[in-house]
């Protein structure tokens, strides 16, 4: 029997796979949350305390046609980090909360996907989402503990692969990959950077928050950990403009020149850069999002995972699917 990676590579050889859209902004609008006062880690607690809401968001994306579902576990490592830092002052209850929030995040996504895929032949991929906690002064051991614990709980929940998303800092990313390399080296992984457009010596270029260009960040990762089960490198949470063509082609050229033909590219941008008051308003309509996305798709030969980040919803994904089906 073919492994998930082998099946995926077979599929990716000749088609693009559609990911879902935003989870966070969908939660905020469903619950009428105030962006100024909202505690973002609350999102993962909803996996335990309001699973029906999270299930309904997953279902809406599956109905739109997505075949890769991102679990609601984005801040899951931060939950374990809080637990580690407060270990001495809190009892066992908090410990179980971090584990349960992550475990249930995968379990409920799987549950919805299984019900949904009963009538369809295509396997729905359940991606355990991991992001990097913010903060400069985090102890290496604490961060290692947080990543290791989160991955354990995501895999216990039944994640098909790990999706390292919104990567903004190379040092923390390397630490996360080191944990995977030492303990979970066979699991398929997707890596997605959150780039920023910067003006360097008069030239506009995309780099990550810690300063490295996308190519340099990928190169450091691949050089240090050459034999992991990488499925894709990509970008997310950036504005979907045609200026993304350049960094996508930069990634593509890098992968081709390094001879990494089985590593593809993913892209799930936001619906523009939001203006934030008590609510967030995203500037890109579905039409604009698709129009910009289509120009990127036309130029890239390795772009195989497409979807949406902040501000997108099932309409964006449905339209992306109908564009993709004719191109």
Nearer to Zn ion, 77 or 310 (CB): 310
Q: 123 to each of 39, 48, 114, 117, 220, how far by Cα in Å?
A: 34, 26, 9, 7, 33
Q: Is the dihedral of CA 287, 191, 125, 56 positive or negative?
A: negative
As a whole number of angstroms, the distance between CA 214 and CA 206 comes to 7
Residue 307 CB, shortest distance to Zn ion, in Å, is 11
Residue 270 CB, shortest distance to Zn ion, in Å, is 5
Sole residue written with tokens 């890596």: 191
As a whole number of angstroms, the distance between CA 113 and CA 130 comes to 20
Nearer to Zn ion, 146 or 309 (CB): 309
Residue 129 binds Zn ion (CB under 5 A) = no
Residue 201 CB, shortest distance to Zn ion, in Å, is 29
Among residues 33, 79, 180, 309, the one that binds Zn ion under rule CB under 5 A: 309
Token pair for 290: 């698709």
Residue 318 binds Zn ion (CB under 5 A) = no
Q: Which residues contact 158 (CB under 8 A, 6 or more apart)?
A: 106, 107, 110, 126
Q: Report the interhelical angle of 24-31 vs 42-49 (nearest 10°).
A: 70
Q: Per-residue string for binding with Zn ion, 270-289, x by CB under 5 A? A: x-------------------
Residue 194 CB, shortest distance to Zn ion, in Å, is 7
Nearer to Zn ion, 109 or 310 (CB): 310
Nearer to Zn ion, 168 or 323 (CB): 168
Residue 238 binds Zn ion (CB under 5 A) = no
Please report, as ranges, the residues that interact with Zn ion according to CB under 5 A: 237, 270, 309-310
């Amino acid at each position: 029997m073919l492994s998930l990676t082998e099946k995926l590579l077979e599929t990716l050889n000749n088609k693009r796979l559609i990911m879902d859209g935003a989870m966070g902004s969908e939660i905020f609008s469903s619950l009428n949350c105030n962006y100024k006062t909202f505690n973002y880690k609350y999102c993962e607690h909803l996996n335990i305390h309001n699973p029906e809401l999270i299930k309904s968001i997953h279902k809406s994306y599956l109905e739109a046609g997505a075949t890769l579902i991102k679990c609601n576990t984005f801040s899951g490592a931060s939950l374990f980090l809080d637990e580690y830092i407060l270990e001495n002052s809190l009892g066992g209850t908090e410990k179980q909360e971090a584990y349960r929030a992550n475990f249930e995040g995968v379990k409920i996504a799987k549950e919805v996907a299984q019900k949904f895929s009963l009538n369809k032949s295509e396997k729905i991929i359940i991606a355990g989402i991991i992001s990097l906690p913010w903060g400069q002064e985090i102890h290496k051991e604490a961060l290692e503990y947080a990543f290791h614990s989160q991955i354990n709980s995501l895999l216990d929940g039944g994640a098909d692969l790990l999706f390292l998303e919104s990567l903004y800092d190379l040092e923390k990313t390397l630490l996360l990959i080191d944990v995977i390399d030492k303990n979970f080296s066979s699991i398929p992984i997707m890596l997605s950077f959150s780039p920023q457009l910067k003006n360097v010596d008069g030239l506009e270029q995309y780099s990550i928050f810690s300063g490295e260009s996308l190519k340099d960040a990928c190169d450091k990762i691949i050089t240090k950990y050459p034999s992991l089960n990488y499925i894709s490198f990509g970008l997310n949470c950036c504005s979907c403009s045609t200026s993304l063509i350049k960094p996508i082609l930069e990634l593509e050229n890098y992968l081709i020149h390094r001879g990494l033909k089985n590593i593809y590219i993913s892209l799930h941008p936001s619906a523009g850069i939001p203006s934030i008051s008590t609510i967030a308003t995203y500037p890109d309509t579905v039409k604009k999002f698709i129009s910009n996305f289509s120009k990127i798709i036309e130029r890239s030969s390795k772009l195989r995972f497409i979807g949406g980040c902040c501000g997108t919803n099932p309409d964006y994904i449905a339209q992306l699917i109908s564009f993709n089906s004719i191109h």
